[in-house]
Amino acid sequence: MAVVKATDSDIALLARLLRAEAEGEGIQGMLLVGNVGINRIRANCSDFKGLRTIPQMIYQPHAFEATIHGYFYQRAREKEKRLARRSINGEKFWPAKYSLWYFKPPGDCPQTWYNQPLVARYKSHCFFEPTAETCQNVYNTF
């Protein structure tokens, strides 16, 4: 059962994002990116207030570097569509289970990002989640 509404077009759009942001980090890395995106839609806090759809989340200004670069504009493949559906259906994986932010630093992960604590690193990306005091919705179960 989907935790956010998604059309076939939305699934393809999310699949393109997963591929562009984390193809080099394998299936798990792409699923983590999916978790962050779905968390942003469900959280309704911080920089993500008012996001209700996958297109709003993906095209939010400055949200994902991949939308600025050409790699995002490759077609969605079935492999990534399956991963996008898993994220949309609520499968969550640590360290992105409650994360709203990730990025790929040139060195070590900083202990905070936008005042949010580091959860962990997965391959080359660092993941950060809000505290329950600043964003309770991200911790609500489906």
For residue range 8-63, list pLDDT tens digits in order: 999 999 999 999 999 999 999 999 999 999 999 999 998 999 999 999 999 999 89
Residue corresponding to tokens 């996001």: 51
The residues, ordered by sequence, that sit 6+ positions from 134 with a Cβ below 8 Å of its Cβ are: 45, 46, 116
Question: pLDDT band for position 141 (50/70/90)?
Answer: low
Q: Delineate the domains of the chain, giving CATH numbers in brackets.
A: 8-139 (1.10.10.2520)
Helices (H), 7-46: 8-22, 26-43
pLDDT on residue 142? 58
The model's pTM: 0.95
C-alpha count within 13 angstroms, C-beta hemisphere, residue 122: 22
Cα 90-95-140 angle, rounded to 5 deg: 45
The encoded tokens of residue 111 equal 């202990």
Residue 71, pLDDT > 80, answer no
pLDDT on residue 130? 95
**SS3 sequence, 48-108?**
HCCCCCHHHHHCCCCCCHHHCCHHHHCCCCHHHHHHHHHHHCCCCCCCCCCCCEEECCCCC
